[in-house]
Amino acid sequence: MSDWPLWEVFVRSKGGLAHRHFGSVHAPDAEIALRHARDTYTRRMEGVSLWVVRSSDIVASDPDDAGQLFEPAADKVYRHPTFYEIPDEVKHI
Amino acid sequence: MPSLPPIRPEDVAVAEKTRPHGAFDPPSDAHDPVRAGYLMRLGDDALILGQRLSEWCGHAPSVEVDLSLANVALDLIGQATLLLNEAGDADTLAFKRDVLDFRNCWLVEQPNGDFARTMVRQLLFSTWQHMLYQRLTASRDEALAGIAAKAVKEVAYHRELAAEWVIRLGDGTEESTKRTLDGLAWCWRFVPELFEVDAEVEAAVSAGIAVDPRDFEAEYRAEITRALGEAGLPVPDDQRPILGGRRGHHSEHLGHLLAIMQYLPRTYPDAKW
Amino acid sequence: MPVNRYLTSMYTTELSKQPNVQPIGPAEDPERLAAFEARVAADEFIEPKDWMPEAYRRTLTRQISQHAHSEIVGMLPEGNWITRAPSLRRKAILLAKVQDEAGHGLYLYCAAETLGTSREEMIEALHSGKAKYSTIFNYPTLTWADIPAIGWLVDGAAIMNQVPLQRTSYGPYARAMVRVCKEESFHQRQGYEAMTSLANGTPEQKQMAQDAFNRWWWPSLMMFGPPDENSPNTAQSLRWRIKRETNDELRQKFVDITVPQAEFLGLTVPDPDLQWNEAKGGYDFGEIDWDEFYAVVRGEGPVARERITARREAWESNAWVREAAAAHEAKRRAKVAA
């Protein structure tokens, strides 16, 4: 063992916004990972809240499955409000 | 004729302490040697420790730790600048005084040693500094109270960071435990100086500027005992206290630190940078 | 010619790549390759789990890790002056700047790790001399004036290289570069500001400034790498959007921007052949000493040994810290499990 495991860092930039992936740090454990994340990614007031998660705990979809995962949504146009025609006279809908 | 009750001395003391800063008070920059001397102690502690920590830059155990140590050093250099600018001109004080005029404690001027000693030193100092600054936020000196209010958040972080590292190193491997114990043995002699009260501090306490550190000595000892306990480390036996920093009587290390730190302004006294 | 093995530019681009990198391994599926090339050509981003040609992965890993190493080794010449900075303000600025470089190294190592090589492996490659880093950091910082000179010239050259990389084809690299460029913007300005103090200062300060400028000017031009005709893989890298402009284009841009800045400070560019060329709308400048360049790339820079020794020592003499923290965590987990 010579380097610590990798953690993914998520930062909430300000209240009302979701946490967003910012990058990663190496750290021996969760508490130190939070400190490393703070010391690395919020030096310029970039955040008000931090999440860290072990990189190995992230489950990701396989890009090779992108076709079957995401393309079937493409022809479901009826899921979008613009699919429906409403007469111009009708308001607030 | 009804008369007012007599004014009791204890009431005067309370009124003095709670009196808001008003138009009749002297401006905070008026030269008051008691105030300046006390600010210099605080400023010198921050400056010298900041200088020591910056020696780590580029040489830390991991890139992440390098960033952490630089953050702590930057906080301390910032505090030193604010405090010394209240005591006089920060750059002149930092770069043009010699050893005998520096007022920092022995603990902060100790060489970094290994990472364990650096973290033990940080724990011992930041815990003290945190408890002190918490109380200084109520100082009658508005400028100092303001600096303390800003710094206390920084120092709270330093204290926790140092505690977490001491726990990991104390309860890590056989080697890290030994190194942490060595660091503790090295630094422990300098703890009593943090609680030393001399005539200068007494005067600053009476003026409502300073805090008597003995007020939180028991709390400090309990907290250090707790942190060391969590690290699985025994509290060292008390050693003969090493004192003198507050009077300008330092270790040999400070002279070398100053030789490096002050080299440019001393070599080029007329230059502006 | 053996030197050809070390061709191409520095800091952000590859140093030790072989001429004629084979873009297509024998086992690679031509259909996937065509799809990949089409995506890159359409300015799409490639993400870590996407299929990519082996040569792309290899070239990128080398390029990003070399960039990361340059940031980390680059902390040393400037770090050399933190304890001696001449005012509290300069001390804080310099420490914050060198700290940024640690941050940038960190972002870049992480970006490179997404390609499947661990940071530890990359660090070991640096320490063994297998991996390269920007040769400019193998020159010593002699006087305080070297600090402003590095900020102004070296960071200036680096920014010129880095800005286009915010649109590089590999997503994690591009995102790291966006962050790096945002943070770097103060580095060059603080350098120029500090240089201004020297240039307007005492005779000794002016002399110090000119001396530093003389020593850093040519190495800064070398940072863009060998001339395009000796940079065999530029075409490939441009096609893959790992590189966005050629070495010579960037170098010319740097000279054109920097010369007037030097004149404003009253500094003399140490190049008797420098002259404005109205027809091309840029400066003509003297021949770079390529022998010096290749010598430094081979690891013969004046303080190359000091740099690597310092890095190796920081890593090895502190291995016990990393081990201790990991051991503590293992104990804690065992306790929780029990």
**Model confidence pLDDT, tens digit, residues C58-99:** 999 999 999 999 999 999 999 999 999 999 999 999 999 999
pLDDT of residue B257: 98
Domain ranges for chain A, please list them: 6-83
pLDDT of residue B114: 98
Q: List, in order, residues 6 or more apart from B63 with CB less than 8 Å away.
A: A26, C72, C102, C105, C106, C109
Contact between A3 and B62 using a beta-carbon 8 Å cutoff: yes
Q: Residue C120: which of A3, A44, A62 has the nearest Cβ?
A: A3
Write out chain B residues lying below 8 Å of A3, CB-based: 62
**CATH class for the domain made up of A6-83:** alpha beta
Q: C168, C177 in Cβ contact below 8 A?
A: yes
pLDDT in tens, A29-73: 999 999 999 999 999 989 999 999 999 999 999 888 888 888 888
The whole-number average pLDDT for the span B21-29 is 49
Chain center to CA of C284: 25
Look over chain C and give the mean of its residue pLDDT values, rounded to a whole number.
90
Domains in chain B, CATH or no CATH each: 32-267 (1.20.1260.10)
pLDDT band at B30; cut points 50, 70, 90: low
Across chain B, mean pLDDT equals: 93
C336 at A interface, C-beta within 8 A: no
CB-based contact C162:C12 (threshold 8 Å): yes
Q: Does C239 touch chain A (CB under 8 A)?
A: no
Instruction: Name the nearest CA neighbour of B91 among B261, B233, B267.
Output: B261
Show which of residues 131-160 on chain C sit within 8 Å of chain B, judged by CB atoms: 144
In chain A, residues with a C-beta closer than 8 Å to the C-beta of B173 are none
Q: How far apart are CA B98 and CA C293, in angstroms?
A: 45
Residues of B in contact with C197 (CB under 8 A): 272-273
Look at residue C297 in the predicted model and tell me its pLDDT. Answer: 87
Q: Is residue C1 very low, low, confident or very high in pLDDT (cuts 50, 70, 90)? A: very low
Residue type, C301: G
CA A53 to chain centre: 12
- Rg, C-alpha atoms of chain C: 21
Q: Is the pLDDT of residue C241 over 90?
A: no
Q: For position C3, what pLDDT does the model report? A: 28
What is the average pLDDT across B219-246? 96
% of chain A exceeding 90 in pLDDT = 61
Q: Which of A2, A23, A44 sits opposite C110 (nearest CB)?
A: A23
Query: Which residues of chain C from 127 to 186 reach within 8 Å of chain A, CB to CB?
Result: 175-176, 179, 183
Is pLDDT above 70 for C12? Answer: no
* C23 has pLDDT over 80: no
- Per CB-CB distance under 8 Å, the chain C contacts of A25 are 106, 110
Residue from C74, C91, C220 nearest C156 by CA = C220
**pLDDT at residue B29 tops 80:** no
Res C8: pLDDT? 35
Nearest to B64 among A31, A39, A43 (CB): A39
B1: pLDDT strictly greater than 50: no
Nearest CA in chain A to B67: A39
Residue in chain A nearest C106 by alpha carbon: A25
Q: Do residues C146 and C154 touch, judged by C-beta distance below 8 A?
A: no
End-to-end CA distance of chain C: 63
Instruction: Enumerate residues 20 to 59 of chain A having a beta carbon within 8 A of any beta carbon in chain C.
Output: 23-26, 28-29, 32, 40, 43-44
Nearest to B67 among A3, A32, A39 (CB): A39
pLDDT (average), residues B98-122? 98
Q: Percentage of chain B surpassing pLDDT 70?
A: 89
Q: Which residue has the higher pLDDT, B106 or B6?
A: B106
Q: At what angle do helices C304-317 and C54-79 cross, to 10 degrees?
A: 100
**CA–CA dist B86, B79 (Å, integer):** 11
CA-based nearest distance A63→chain C, Å: 6
pLDDT at C240: 84
Question: Per-residue pLDDT for C37 more than 60?
Answer: yes
Instruction: Give the span between the Cα atoms of C129 and B124, in whole angstroms.
Output: 40
Q: Which chains touch B (3 or more CB pairs under 8 A)?
A: A, C
**Is the confidence at residue C103, as pLDDT, over 90?**
yes
Buried b (16+ CB within 10 A) or exposed e, B216-250: bbeebeebbeebbeebebeeeeeeebbbebbeeeb
Q: Is the pLDDT of residue B24 over 70?
A: no
Residue B122 confidence (pLDDT) above 80? yes
Residue C46 Cα, gap to closest chain A Cα (Å): 11
Out of A4, A23, A44, the one facing C325 most closely (by C-beta) is A4
Q: Which residues of A touch B65 (CB under 8 A)?
A: 36
For residue A49, which phi and psi values (nearest 5 degrees)? -160, 145
Secondary element (H or E) of residue A8: strand A6-12
Shortest distance, CA A91 to any CA of chain C (angstroms): 40
CA angle B112, B159, C119 (to 5 degrees): 65
What does the DSSP assignment read for chain B? ---PPPPPHHHHHHHHHHPPP-TTSPPTTS--HHHHHHHHHHHHHHHHHHHHHHTTTT-SSSHHHHHHHHHHHHHHHHHHHHHHHHHS-HHHHHHH--GGG----HHHHS---SHHHHHHHHHHHHHHHHHHHHHHTT-SSHHHHHHHHHHHHHHHHHHHHHHHHHHHHHTS-HHHHHHHHHHHHHHGGGHHHHT---HHHHHHHHTTSS--GGGGHHHHHHHHHHHHHHTT-PPPPP-PPP--GGGT---THHHHHHHHHTHHHHHSTT---
pLDDT beyond 60 at C306: yes
- d(CA B38, nearest CA chain C) in Å: 20
> pLDDT tier at C124 (50, 70, 90 boundaries)?
very high
> Considering only alpha carbons, which residue of chain C is nearest residue B260?
C84
In this prediction, residues C212-229 reach a mean pLDDT of 95
CB B144 within 8 A of CB B196: no
DSSP type of residue C230: G
Residue written as tokens 């979809």?
A61
3-state secondary structure of A20: strand
CA pair distance B82, C131, nearest whole angstrom: 44
pLDDT at site A65: 86
- Long-range contacts (CB closer than 8 Å, 24 or more residues apart) made by B201-209: B201/B38, B201/B246, B203/B34, B204/B34, B204/B35, B204/B37, B204/B38, B207/B34, B207/B35, B207/B140, B208/B16, B208/B17, B208/B139, B208/B140, B208/B141, B209/B34, B209/B35, B209/B38, B209/B139, B209/B140, B209/B141, B209/B144
CA of A32: which chain B residue's CA is closest? B164
Contact yes or no for C109 and B63 at CB 8 A: yes
Distance, CA of C148 to CA of C154 (rounded, Å): 10
Euclidean distance between the first and final Cα of chain A, in Å?
A: 61
Nearest residue on chain B to A27, alpha-carbon basis:
B64
Contact C95 B60 (CB under 8 A): no
Q: Which two tokens stand for residue A1?
A: 């063992």
User: Are C320 and B176 an interchain contact pair (Cβ–Cβ within 8 Å)?
Assistant: yes
Are residues A60 and C319, on separate chains, in Cβ contact within 8 Å?
A: no
Strand C275-277 relative to strand A20-26, pairing = unpaired
